[in-house]
Amino acid sequence: MKVVITAGPTREFLDPVRFLSNPSTGRMGFACASEGVDRGHDVVLISGPVSLPTPDGLRRVDVVSASDMWEAVRLAFGECDVLIMCAAVADWTVDVPAETKLKKGTMESLTVSLIRTRDILASVSAENESATLVGFAAETDHVIEAATHKLKSKGLDLIVANDVTVPGAGFGGETNVATLLPASGGAIDCGLLTKRALAARIFDWVEATRRSD
């Protein structure tokens, strides 16, 4: 299968030297990419700024902002069988970034106007109806309800719901605690797994679903 995987955070610059971002390290996306390659798939890994080595056997595309990631996904998506959006894409970006460094001078406060970024998953789905779409929902409360809402509103085939407040889950570590929620119904509770083992569970589901289609 041709698989496009996104990983890591995005950066939304306020001025040439300052940005808004999040603590994503890219580990979940890179684990999915390695798992995909080891299963013989043709993998394109679209990554925000991370400090992880590129796994062998895939094509990596580096991006910075949510808008760059949207462009890169759009370019790769038309051809792909599966899109796995692990990236922690910014939900807002800076409306008018300053062209030169903002001088703090005597400014005691700074108000920055943010605008919504485009939802990549939701906006690309119409462009390739045969692709299997997998999203992630990192939540701090009402995890299953919030993930189910995203599964439906973004038109996904599968969402990986995880409570980032649970020990062993969330940003940075080697493990995750997740529940797979397929659009077809049911819930697969994966418990505490390494990110690589969770990636394997995701590919097990995707491969079985595409075989039965």
Residues identified as active-site:
22
**Interface with ligand C5P, residue 177, by CB under 6 A:** no
d(CA 24, CA 12): 14
Whose tokens are 């902002």? That residue is: 65
Residue 45 contacts ligand C5P per CB under 6 A: no
x/- track of binding to ligand C5P for residues 65-104 (CB under 6 A): -x------------------x-x-x-x-------------
- 145 scored as a contact of ligand C5P (CB under 6 A): no
Sheet holding 132-139, edge to edge: 59-62, 42-47, 2-7, 82-85, 132-139, 158-163, 175-182, 188-194
161 lies in the binding site for ligand C5P (CB under 6 A): no
The yes or no reply on residue 181 touching ligand C5P (CB under 6 A) is no
Least distance to ligand C5P, CB of residue 63, Å: 12
Token output for 136: 């992630």
48 binds ligand C5P (CB under 6 A): no
**Ramachandran area for residue 43 (φ above 0: left; ψ -120 to 50: alpha; else beta):** beta
* Cα–Cα distance, 188 to 200 (Å, whole number): 13
The residues of the shown chain that bind ligand C5P, judged by CB under 6 A, are: 66, 85, 87, 89, 91, 117, 119-121, 135-137, 150
